[in-house]
Structure 1
Amino acid sequence: MDYIDTKHVAAELRTRLKGAFPGVKFSVRKSTGTASAWITVTWTDGPCTADVEQHTRPLQGAQFNAMQDRYESTGNTVTATVGGRRVTGKPLVDGISTHRHISDDALKAAADLWSQAHDGTEPPASGTLATCVIDGHIIQENWAPQQMWQIAHDVVLPPRWAAAREARPARADKEGDQGTEGLTLRHAAGDGTTVTGTRRGDGAAEVLRQHGFKWHRKNRYWYVPGSRDQHADTGFMTAVAADLRAENLSVTTAQPKPAPAP
């Protein structure tokens, strides 16, 4: 059984989150200096924690059993990019923690909703607030900051995120009309896996480096070392294309057609 190092799992998770939640800025960091290997994911507003954890749980290799005071294998396997190739193995990750920040703007909107529900009274900055109903949602009795947080979480952010997801395709189409000519992700026996059509500052370089690509100064394209005279890794190319498209880049893939059966 191959094992996938924490840093490669973190890179794979970053790619998957970009593809699943375009437009949301995620921080995906691996732990350092601890006996166990952890990844921490943070973001602001956007999708709820439960939606994000649908993508983090499959990449967790172990989980802590408090009854036995030990880590136990989840049995998960993950396919990630290692040295420019797609490798499947057990993730060396003992846990993935998630934390969703609530923006000041969302908290202000929550305070405005609370005020509307209380005859224009400004919500206090401290103290305990009684249970109330905001737009059909029951907001439990709690300290004032926590109650504003619940209103933002339950009432303000869900419709904002739904609207952002609906608007994203239209915005991407508009940007595509005004944007670059597009990138070509290709695999050929003589050149290996390459990407052409990039421009300085278009956001492609960072994505390609994460996938193991290097810049060929003479030929003026990005390439995967060691991919010449190898079969096309379609899973790898699909992941690269998805990550590039998550940065609003137009990508065309070109792979050699399989030889006809004799």
Structure 2
Amino acid sequence: MNSNDVPITESRFIDTADVAKLVRKELKKTFPDTKFSVRISRYAGGSSVYVGWTDGPTTKDVDQVVYAFQSGRFESMTDCAYSADSWYCPEHGPRVARTYGCDLDDNNGLHASRCCHQAELVHFCATHVSTSRQLSDEFTAELAAKVRKDCRMAPEGPLDDPIPEGTRWHYGDYSTVYNAIWRLADDTDY
């Protein structure tokens, strides 16, 4: 019998504070050289986990690790919020097990994602997990120098200098060095 063939019944609920602990553990395992701040917020109708860090891995890389810990999902085509239960294995991390409550049929139901027989069916009580990467002054200066060089601008200047039209980092009339730094940071580890 395949591990995905195990019938899914009741899931164990994991409180948001415990979800935050699991998120910290997974981040430490995946990005051992980066210090993360992991906080929770409880509010009427749900709770969230907030992850912050300076420099280090890209937001996209961190999102791939932490978003699996949220129970909330969103279908933008129909403007529909829905929920998910997950398989959780200490060795392999979380994976979506089943989704429900969406008005698109292909977003509801079981997912063949169980990693091994040790994976437990859980419901993470954190509806949302959000991330926020900050850039240190040193990293900002390094990225600004790259942007200025790519755009053939003076090597020094304020972050609100406009980007010359027709250059790689120009994305409209109000593109500045600061805007370009954040676009470059999206693809740059530090």
TM-score (normalised: structure 2): 0.65
1:173-231 Cα shifts (integer Å, max 9, x gaps): xxxxxxxxxxxxxxxxxxxxxxxxxxxxxxxxxxxxxxxxxxxxxxxxxxxxxxxxxxx
**Structure 1 residues 16 and 152, CA gap change in structure 2 (3 angstroms):** closer
Q: Distance in 2 between matches of 1:62 and 1:38?
A: 10
Q: Distance in 2 between matches of 1:99 and 1:111?
A: 20
- Matching of residues 151-162 of structure 1 within 5 Å: 151-154=184-187, 157-158=188-189, 160=190
Pairing 1:28–2:38 present:
yes
Is the contact between residue 78 and residue 91 of structure 1 (CA under 8 Å) also seen in structure 2? no
Higher helix proportion (structure 1 or 2):
1
Pairing 1:128–2:138 present:
no
Runs of 4+ in 1 over 4 A off after TM superposition: 65-70
1:125-172 Cα shifts (integer Å, max 9, x gaps): 425322576xxxx32331332123334444xx43x4xxxxxxxxxxxx
- Matching of residues 1-150 of structure 1 within 5 Å: 1=10, 2-65=12-75, 71-79=81-89, 88-117=121-150, 118=152, 120-131=154-165, 138-141=168-171, 142-150=175-183
Unmatched runs of 5 consecutive residues or more in structure 1: 81-85, 161-262
Is the contact between residue 147 and residue 180 of structure 2 (CA under 8 Å) also seen in structure 1? no
Give the number of aligned pairs.
148
Is the contact between residue 41 and residue 96 of structure 1 (CA under 8 Å) also seen in structure 2? yes
- RMSD between aligned residues: 2.8
- Amino acid across the alignment from 1:109: E
- Amino acid across the alignment from 1:122: E
**Structure 1 residues 16 and 132, CA gap change in structure 2 (3 angstroms):** farther
Q: Distance in 1 between matches of 2:155 and 2:55?
A: 26
**Structure 1 residues 152 and 92, CA gap change in structure 2 (3 angstroms):** closer
The one of the two structures with greater contact order (alpha-carbon pairs below 8 A, sep at least 6) is 2
Is the contact between residue 5 and residue 92 of structure 1 (CA under 8 Å) also seen in structure 2? yes
Unmatched runs of 5 consecutive residues or more in structure 2: 1-9, 91-118
Q: Distance in 2 between matches of 1:56 and 1:18?
A: 12
**Structure 1 residues 104 and 34, CA gap change in structure 2 (3 angstroms):** farther
Matching residue of 1:259: none
Q: Distance in 1 between matches of 2:59 and 2:67?
A: 12
Q: Distance in 2 between matches of 1:32 and 1:40?
A: 11
**Structure 1 residues 130 and 39, CA gap change in structure 2 (3 angstroms):** same
Is the contact between residue 114 and residue 123 of structure 1 (CA under 8 Å) also seen in structure 2? no
Give the greater-gyration-radius structure (CA). 1
**Structure 1 residues 69 and 132, CA gap change in structure 2 (3 angstroms):** closer
**Structure 1 residues 147 and 11, CA gap change in structure 2 (3 angstroms):** same
Quote the offset at 1:109 in angstroms.
1.0
Give the percent of matched residue pairs that are identical in Structure 1 and Structure 2. Answer: 28
Q: Distance in 2 between matches of 1:112 and 1:93?
A: 40
Is the contact between residue 28 and residue 40 of structure 1 (CA under 8 Å) also seen in structure 2? yes
**Structure 1 residues 150 and 88, CA gap change in structure 2 (3 angstroms):** same
Quote the offset at 1:32 in angstroms.
2.5
